[in-house]
Amino acid sequence: MIERKDLKKCHRIVIKVGTSTLTYKNGQLNLQRIDHLVRQIADLHNQGKEVLLVSSGAIGVGANRMGFKKVPSTMPEKQALAAIGQGSLLHIYEKIFAEYGKIVAQVLLTRGDFDERIRYLNAANALLAILNMGVIPIINENDTVVVEEIRFGDNDTLSALVAGVVNADLLIILSDVDGLYDCDPRLNQDASLLSEVDEITEEIEERSRSRGSKFSSGGMYTKLKAARMCMAAGVPMIIANSDEHNVIARLMDGEELGTLFIPRAEKMQARKKWIAFGRLPQGEIMVDEGAKEALLNQGKSLLPSGIIGVSGDFQPGEVVKVVTAGGKEIARGLTNYSAEEIRLIAGKNTRYIEKILGYKDYDEVIHRNNLWVEV
């Protein structure tokens, strides 16, 4: 079970900031806070950690730029404002991150990017490639093109999904609240902050139904939804106040700030659950003893050479079981190649992939980052 002192060891960290953190009540950018935030993230990055920033604010900033007193209610207007605001937002981030010598990458995602397997894999691979380059991805929903039915609508949910997609070690949601209270602190002076939560009861959820400010979409309800997803996926999550001085460094140091949501399941098992979330494995890849050893004990990816059989008819991006010659499941993962392709390259060295298939996007049939080993 994770404890505050373990947070020091977290390497891949998703940080989510809401519109209320980035802007003043009148909708103008709170540059001081943005600068403080960026400085903390840059410092974390300097320590060799990987950081992904999920930032809201496009619609709010767009509304403010256009002189609107509040966010309009129609979708096309919101979409237009997101297009206006996202540019401004990124401009500010890029400018301030550059002052600390950091390169950022804009990533705009929609729900469809997670629902369809191949796009899920693409999103994961793109984010991991950005991290591998030492760059900080700044992620938001692609509000301008997304349609109502398939909107996340709030970045709390998006950040929890991102944390799952990249196998983050921690999600920190920075907001204008100190964390989760045992009752609404705006209504009850005696409300006390919960330092740790290991179960989100219906009662807790019921208490959190009020919405956020006029420029943002979240509130405690969506944060708890994110926490629920993280807890199932084995990712610890923290809600803390962005106004706390050096909040990120202090949290990483194990200081008791905000509310820590402790995942129920162990990370490895939960990651497998995450990938298999709602999706049945579409087939099986049978591996030899060498590949089994490489996957289970050496932290390696699955290469074609160790594959001795394939069953099922699956496409790239689908979830498949990895089984031993005896049929025992040892892992699950997202495959980079289809069943048909794997039948052709099974047992072959990676250098023959291109010759056999006529193309090669990956050496790995299942990359380690997309592989969940049974424990």
Whole-angstrom CA distances from 333 to 66, 276, 321, 371 are: 46, 9, 7, 4
Kindly report the backbone phi and psi dihedral angles of residue 373, in degrees, each rounded to the nearest multiple of 5, phi listed first: -85, 135
Using the contact rule CB under 6 A, the part of the chain among 136-144, 177-185, 272-280, 356-364 near ligand GLU is 136-144
Q: Is 141 in the site for ligand GLU (CB under 6 A)?
A: yes
Using the contact rule CB under 6 A, the part of the chain among 57-65, 100-108, 128-136, 195-203 near ligand GLU is 57-65
**CB 227, min distance to ligand GLU, A:** 15
- Token pair belonging to 27: 């909708």
How many Å apart are CA 258 and CA 248, to the nearest integer?
A: 11
How many Å apart are CA 328 and CA 27, to the nearest integer?
A: 57
Q: Is 59 in the site for ligand GLU (CB under 6 A)?
A: yes
Q: Is 60 in the site for ligand GLU (CB under 6 A)?
A: yes
Nearer Cβ to ligand GLU, position 86 or 305? 86
**CB 330, min distance to ligand GLU, A:** 39
What part of residues 218-277 is at the interface with ligand GLU (CB under 6 A)?
Answer: 218
Using the contact rule CB under 6 A, the part of the chain among 53-61, 193-201, 239-247, 288-296 near ligand GLU is 53-61
What part of residues 302-321 is at the interface with ligand GLU (CB under 6 A)?
Answer: none
Note whether 319 and 281 are within 8 A (CB). Answer: yes
Distance of CA 68 to the CA centre of its chain: 31
Q: Is 155 in the site for ligand GLU (CB under 6 A)?
A: yes
Q: What is the DSSP letter of 368?
A: G
Q: Is 27 in the site for ligand GLU (CB under 6 A)?
A: no
In terms of Cβ atoms closer than 10 Å to its own Cβ (0-12, 13-18, 19+), residue 3 is exposed
Query: Helix H segments across 133-277?
Result: 155-165, 202-207, 220-233, 247-252, 267-275
Q: Is 21 in the site for ligand GLU (CB under 6 A)?
A: no
How many Å apart are CA 163 and CA 157, to the nearest integer?
A: 10
Q: What is the DSSP letter of 145?
A: T
Q: Is 208 in the site for ligand GLU (CB under 6 A)?
A: no
Nearer Cβ to ligand GLU, position 136 or 294? 136
Nearer Cβ to ligand GLU, position 90 or 136? 90
Q: Is 58 in the site for ligand GLU (CB under 6 A)?
A: yes
Count residues binding ligand GLU (CB under 6 A). Answer: 16
Query: Helix H segments across the chain?
Result: 19-22, 31-46, 58-65, 75-99, 112-115, 117-132, 155-165, 202-207, 220-233, 247-252, 267-275, 289-297, 339-345, 353-357
Using the contact rule CB under 6 A, the part of the chain among 216-224, 242-250, 257-265, 345-353 near ligand GLU is 216-224
Nearer Cβ to ligand GLU, position 60 or 234? 60
Host H or E run for residue 78: helix 75-99
Nearer Cβ to ligand GLU, position 140 or 305? 140
Q: Is 56 in the site for ligand GLU (CB under 6 A)?
A: yes
- Token pair belonging to 226: 């994110």
Three-state SS sequence of 237-257: EEEEECCCCCHHHHHHCCCCC
Q: Is 143 in the site for ligand GLU (CB under 6 A)?
A: yes
Q: Is 171 in the site for ligand GLU (CB under 6 A)?
A: no
Q: Considering only residues 79, 217, 242, 336, which one is a binding residue for ligand GLU as defined by CB under 6 A?
A: 217
In the complex, which residues of this chain contact ligand GLU (CB under 6 A)? 18-19, 56-60, 82, 140-141, 143, 154-155, 216-218
